[in-house]
């Protein structure tokens, strides 16, 4: 999986949608100097480091993923990214949705004994066999247009990954009740990313004080409400850009002040400009 010395050392980012699994976003990238701000994705991040080493924050701690290891970030989990080696790092990744992995987990239920979307407790996994399978999956899309071949490799790779490295997320009734007011706030920010809602209005929605809401929301979701709103806006902007909407219009429709405001936040979180992202699709 490692690049030859001196080969492909410039930064590049290639996004595209695969036809498998009802459509899943794939990424091939190399970064040298870029540092990702703390952000989240609506889907999981499952990646394999090809070269160098990536340092990143996830689950309240910092991690290092060297070449040949697997990066795992759960859906909606706040994370960052930067190079841990001179010359940067290269990786390939896929971003399946919770619904896609939940369906696969249901299909595997007799083997795993679990239901619902999986939870990956470890941010970095050293499993050469699964890493090899995932790398084959992430490169196969460029080598064949056979959906049968791609889906066969995909299900086998994810099956091994989930059997070996996932578990059920804790779902205690008390925890669910405690999370309900915060979930209402998160749902509002997800459903209305362009809303110019105030902290006081969100606090009233949750039945909490503004201070308690800010502190509890950050503890539950990794970001305070205003920072999470930026992530919700970026997700909405991605969908609008994929649909072909002009960048300036997508920025306003997603709640950003203008195109430059979207550009700045998009680049920090995704390592690519809105124009480059739109061109990929």
Q: Where are the domains of the chain?
A: 12-168, 173-280
51 vs 140 pLDDT, higher one: 51
Distances (CA, A) of 121 to 57, 83, 209: 14, 23, 32
Among 88, 73, 87, which residue's Cα sits nearest to residue 38? 73
Helix (H, G, I), strand (E, B) or coil at 67: coil
Residue 281 pLDDT level (bands cut at 50, 70, 90) = confident
Residue 179 pLDDT level (bands cut at 50, 70, 90) = confident
- Quote the mean pLDDT of the chain: 86
Among 51, 142, 151, 52, which residue's Cα sits nearest to residue 104? 151
**Same topology for domains 12-168 and 173-280, yes or no?**
no
Q: What is the pLDDT of residues 112-130, one digit of tens each?
A: 455 678 999 999 999 999 9
CA 67 – CA 182 distance, rounded (Å) = 38
pLDDT at 3: 45
To which CATH superfamily is domain 173-280 assigned? Homeodomain-like (1.10.10.60)
Judged against a pLDDT cut of 80, whether residue 176 lies above it is answered with: no
CA 200 – CA 211 distance, rounded (Å) = 9
- Among 49-58, 138-147, 226-235, 270-279, name the one with the lowest average pLDDT: 138-147
Judged against a pLDDT cut of 70, whether residue 175 lies above it is answered with: no
Architecture of domain 12-168: Sandwich (2.60)
pLDDT at 5: 41
pLDDT at 4: 45
62 vs 147 pLDDT, higher one: 62
Judged against a pLDDT cut of 80, whether residue 82 lies above it is answered with: yes
pLDDT at 9: 57
């Amino acid at each position: 999986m490692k690049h030859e010395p001196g080969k492909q050392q410039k930064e590049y980012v290639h996004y595209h949608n695969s036809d498998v699994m009802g459509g899943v976003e794939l990424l091939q990238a190399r970064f040298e100097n870029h540092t990702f701000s703390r952000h989240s994705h609506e889907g999981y991040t499952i990646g394999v480091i090809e070269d160098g080493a990536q340092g990143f924050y996830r689950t309240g701690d910092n991690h290092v993923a060297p070449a040949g290891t697997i990066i795992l970030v759960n859906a909606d989990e706040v994370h960052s990214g930067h190079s841990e080696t001179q010359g940067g790092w290269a990786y390939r990744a896929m971003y399946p949705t919770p619904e896609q992995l939940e369906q696969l987990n249901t299909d595997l239920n007799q083997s795993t004994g679990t239901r619902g979307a999986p939870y990956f407790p470890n941010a970095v996994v050293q499993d050469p066999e699964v890493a090899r399978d995932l790398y084959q999956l992430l490169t196969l899309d460029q080598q064949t247009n056979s959906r049968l071949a791609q889906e066969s490799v995909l299900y086998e790779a994810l099956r091994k990954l989930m059997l070996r490295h996932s578990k059920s997320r804790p779902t205690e009734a008390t925890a669910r009740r405690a999370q309900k007011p915060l979930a209402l706030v998160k749902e509002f920010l997800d459903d209305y990313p362009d809303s110019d809602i105030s902290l006081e209005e969100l606090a009233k929605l949750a039945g909490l004080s503004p201070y308690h809401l800010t502190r509890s929301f950050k503890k539950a979701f990794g970001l305070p409400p205003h920072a999470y709103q930026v992530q919700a806006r970026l997700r909405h902007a991605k969908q609008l850009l994929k649909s072909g909407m002009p960048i300036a219009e997508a920025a306003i429709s997603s709640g950003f002040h203008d195109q430059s405001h979207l550009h700045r936040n998009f680049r920090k979180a995704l390592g690519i400009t809105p124009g480059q992202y739109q061109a990929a699709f």
